[in-house]
Structure 1
């Protein structure tokens, strides 16, 4: 996955500059991604309605070659989220840059998912109405784990990646549609399906359909996730990156330096789009 950013020097940068010039940038195509190139990238992104972060990732590069951008995350979506959450736009841009998967869809147009067999095991065994027999549900989950361990299992694992995750999900839906959809994480921000109703969706089926629509719907799910977690939202507002990273990514956040990446991304975005914090 090609990502070009400030400080890069390569033939790919030269090609980027040439394509930006075709869009009216007027750059010197010297292969150095400097201030002028970053400004031109940001201007092009703004013109196209893309997230204006000054980074030429797959979405921007695809747009420059004429690819349809209608399903991509819009800058206006991030601006609206910042206002809605009372969070600095630069902080929202930083979270989008670091915490997303870069794109919410696979090359075949399906949303990115990761099917979790251990969550399927848990969801099948979970009583949903007072009349449910918890012991019988547990026996059923254990039977499925014994006969179909790749789909139902008390242990995580068995990941196939990419489009193969949709195949795993399809097989799991034959066991139980609702439990299967609840057992996958969805979109660029990998929101788990079992959060659907808590996030205000009418059902997990409604949630999954929206995650398959476009990246703006996927970001909406992320915004709702922040709204129902006051501690996480408070950490983001205060730019307490370690607290936010731990809350969103779990205790292993330091291994991937998520807090440091978030802080650096915020500082860069704050320098280019200084916006006062909401009261």
Structure 2
């Protein structure tokens, strides 16, 4: 399903406009995703409880077709996050738009994950308990890496994508359940499992259970991730997008233009005034 947004012109936009009209939009069906269509999308999203970003992605189009929105991120989640983080709602819209993978769950209902074999190696080689011998742990990790290089490996890679990532995780859990869960990133915002303590969970298993319950829970964890990193939080409050992108996405952020995308998304949401209207 193609994501549709302001500036698009296509037959898919015509279908979107017809579907919006079925919900009372009153649009001219011309296939042009202009200001009026974007406003109608936002209005529908608000009425349906979806994130009111004016972008007709898979979630909005599925909802228009009668799909279930129960486990999807809600606009009220973003409003609450803006209050918690003490930033404009437009900033939260921008971060959600650029940093989210779009969907927090696969078609089979399992959360989106990415299993990191090099983190699995690191976790297995890291002492956890008093009396752990680092040399023995590393030796054991090396043995596991030699026997299962797709699951335990000093080097990153080996990704399979989609549901196959859960198969990789299942194999890793047979080796060490906690290390395996800590070595996967979870949900729409790809929160690494090893952050469980920082985010206030009692265990990585508790984190996984929570983030498997819905996109709202995944977003709440993302908000806590920002909250618990004072430098990242300060960059967001100051709308220093390059610094925020570097901290969150890593040193290669410029290659994917994350800072530019964040700046443009913020300006679009701020200029339309929608954020302020929603917050009120």
Q: TM-score, normalised by structure 2?
A: 0.97
> Match of 1:2, SS?
coil
Q: CA RMSD in A?
A: 1.0
- Any stretches of 5+ residues in structure 2 without a counterpart? none
CA distance in 2, matches of 1:14, 1:31: 4
Matched, 1:56 2:56: yes
CA distance in 1, matches of 2:126, 2:154: 13
CA distance in 2, matches of 1:227, 1:133: 34
Matched, 1:209 2:173: no
Offset, 1:274: 5.3
Offset, 1:244: 0.3
How do residues 129-208 of structure 1 correspond to structure 2 at under 5 angstroms? 129-208=129-208
> Match of 1:251, SS?
coil
CA distance in 1, matches of 2:6, 2:143: 54
Give CA deviations for 1:209-232 in whole Å, capped at 9, x if unaligned.
Answer: 111110001001101100110000
Structure 1 equivalent of residue 4 of structure 2 = 4
Structure 2 equivalent of residue 103 of structure 1 = 103
Offset, 1:132: 1.2
Offset, 1:133: 1.5
CA distance in 2, matches of 1:154, 1:50: 41
CA distance in 1, matches of 2:275, 2:261: 19
Q: TM-score, normalised by structure 1?
A: 0.97
Structure 2 equivalent of residue 238 of structure 1 = 238
CA distance in 2, matches of 1:168, 1:116: 9
CA distance in 2, matches of 1:239, 1:64: 34
CA distance in 1, matches of 2:209, 2:199: 15
CA distance in 2, matches of 1:30, 1:134: 66
How do residues 11-22 of structure 1 correspond to structure 2 at under 5 angstroms? 11-22=11-22
> Match of 2:71, SS?
coil
Give CA deviations for 1:192-247 in whole Å, capped at 9, x if unaligned.
Answer: 00001111011100001111110001001101100110000100011000000000
Offset, 1:87: 1.1
CA distance in 2, matches of 1:42, 1:275: 13
> Match of 2:185, SS?
strand
CA distance in 1, matches of 2:144, 2:69: 42
Matched, 1:67 2:67: yes
Number of residue pairs the alignment of both structures matches: 276
Structure 2 equivalent of residue 256 of structure 1 = 256
